[in-house]
Structure 1
Amino acid sequence: MLLELFTGKCPIDECFSGDVNLPKWVQSAFPENFMQVIDSKLLVGDVCNEDHDDGDGDDDDNLYVSPEIQVEYCLATVIEIGLSCTRDSPDGRITIRHALQKLKNAKHNFLKNRNGEKM
């Protein structure tokens, strides 16, 4: 389900034929080119490229993570979880409980970083 939501593709989409299916298609792009399989509708928004100065006068601004990197990191985590849930072997899949915990952690980290806390 995660792969469907974040790629905008259905498992029986016309673009999949032969041995290619949604998980294999995503896996072929992961991790280096995973942004190419993300639904472009998800990437429209307020993410902008800005210089960051937290105004406290120290030099720790180099620890700032740009909004683009934050989004990419969060999306990579979600895609990795989706791939972990779709392994061919049931023994190779993570449990729904583990997947949920990883999703909660990804959400927490994303929101923490979006609110200006350092990574």
Structure 2
Amino acid sequence: MSECKVLRITRHRNLLKILSACSSVDFQGNEFKALVYEFMANGSLEKWLCHDGIENNGQEEESRNLKLIQRPNIAIDVASAIEYLHCHCDSTIIHGDLKPSNVLLDDEMIAHVGDFGLAKIISTISDEVVQHQSNSTAVRGAIGYVAPEYAMGNRASTIADVYSYGILLLEMFTGKRPTDNVFKDDLTLHILVESALPDQVLEIVDPYILSEHGPRSWLKDNLVSILRIGVACSMESPRDRMQIQDVVNALCKIKKVCENYGLRQD
């Protein structure tokens, strides 16, 4: 199991921890293997981004809303986890399936990246190859989050993880899924945000953010900065995307600005 391989060689506060693994037989006599993870009290990020009270499977879900300061905190947590996988492990690890349902939140709203079923471990090739095209099997990610180069047969890459992260970041601050019905023909979440920057940014952000703080100038400036990061990460060309280390640094600076305006996570 690729998840076991990854979790054996990783240790980071923003990666979901495995508690145990088991192999057993179900009531029909079929053998199965399972991984037991630590409990995440606040569930997945996907549920916190579901503002219409309806999950993707059509079932009703209790409405939840993220506070403004929680959003950059979670964004930094996820980016830090990806940076660790790409840059600070003995072997470069490509997650391959980054999306809101694979980001879990604990009781303090700290984000933990999980689900390494599609992860790829790259250890014997150059940084340039890892970044743009590895020799491993192509990744099958989620529709809307998977990098466009995969449709052209490109292989797993760290910069494709950055694309998925960029879409996730845009979703966190607009409240719009990349698979929403409004996105069809040539309109994508990336294009919507890019075309709104900077003057119309308040027209496309999550309405809950404005209801919480109102259209203040400092709020608009910081939203523009964050959404520009999301746009830069989700550029169509892999070579035009931000490096994940730069993403972490930029978001940390924005978080400090928010804190200077009195925003704190209780």
What's the TM-score bracket when you normalise by the shorter of the two chains?
0.7 to 0.9
Amino acid at match of 2:205: I
- Please give the alpha-carbon distance, in whole angstroms, between the structure 2 residues aligned to 1:28 and 1:69: 20
Q: Pick from 151, 155, 170: which aligns with 1:3?
A: 170
The alpha-carbon deviation at position 36 of structure 1 amounts to 0.7
Aligned to 2:259: 111
Map of 2:189 onto structure 1: 22
Matched with 2:223 is 75
Partner of 2:118: none
Specify which of 195, 206, 210 is matched with residue 43 of structure 1. 210
Q: Normalising by the residue count of structure 2, what TM-score does the alignment of the two structures yield? A: 0.34
Give the superposition deviation at 1:97.
1.3
Give per-residue Cα distances to partners, 1:61-83, cap 9 Å, x unaligned. xxxxxx81111111111111111
Task: Flag the structure with larger Rg.
Answer: 2
Cα distance in structure 1, aligned partners of 2:199 and 2:210 = 18
Question: Aligned AA for 1:110?
Answer: C
The aligned amino acid for 1:3 is: L
Deviations 1:23-74 (A, max 9, x none): 00111111111111101012222x37xxxxxxxxxxxxxxxxxx81111111
Whether the 8 Å CA contact 2:201–2:220 is kept in 1: the answer is no
Counterpart Cα distance in 1 of 2:244 and 2:176: 22
Consecutive aligned runs of 4 or more in structure 1 exceeding 4 Å deviation:
none
Q: Which amino acid aligns with 2:179?
A: I
Higher-RCO chain (CA-CA 8 Å, sequence separation at least 6) = 1
Query: Offset of 1:110 from its aligned partner?
Result: 2.2
Q: Compare the two structures and name the one with the higher helix fraction.
A: 1
SS of the residue aligned with 1:73? helix
